[in-house]
Structure 1
Amino acid sequence: MTRTAAVPPLPEPELDENGNLRPFTADQCMAVCTNRAATYPSARFLVVALAPDGSDIEDLGRGLALPTTPSRTCQRSGSAASSAPHTLLDMLRRTMDARLIWVDAELEPWPD
């Protein structure tokens, strides 16, 4: 299921009587963050390991991939590893049959 969020407009910077930028209000900060989240969504993923005979599966962890920094946490046994999902998968595949499951659509890189 794909959700389309309304993208709020970005607030215009305001100057004080001396020509200095005024800090954003809480509502303006929320508008900037909401705009960014709607414009550049993240994607959830799971990392699992299959038993050697394929009869069982172990949930190794979950993560959140972001286009700017596609490294987020995948947890196993209380430890956390931050790396790009495919990098994490390559590392795990050295010792197990690890698989990556995208919950949301796989990300495309953000424009430069």
Structure 2
Amino acid sequence: MKSERLNAYRIMWVLVFFDLPTETKKERKAAGDFRKKILADGFAMFQFSIYVRHCASMENATVHIKRVQKILPEKGHVVIMTITDKQFGMMKIYQGTKPATAMDIPQQLELF
């Protein structure tokens, strides 16, 4: 049963892509607040305007997706995508022409 919970097809990554307006002071504040709130929810910056969060299951991912949906800024473009841990692990990452190391997978603490 434990191997089923740690299956690479069950573990999910939630990606949040956003392009928010920053023309006015109010828009910059809204964009900054959105970024701070997703960071507070455990997301980490993957690239500029792309944040990721590791989730133990699709049910857990759904909780965090709903949290992001509740804090969407009034203006701008936000995309939320989920992929399996297996798909995330197949990603090719480069810095310039050299392969870069992938993100460390957060350690999950499980209490019984």
Common fold: TM-score over 0.5: no
The one of the two structures with greater contact order (alpha-carbon pairs below 8 A, sep at least 6) is 2
Structure of higher CA gyration radius: 1
Classify the TM-score, shorter chain. Answer: 0.3 to 0.5
Task: Report the TM-score when normalising by structure 1.
Answer: 0.34
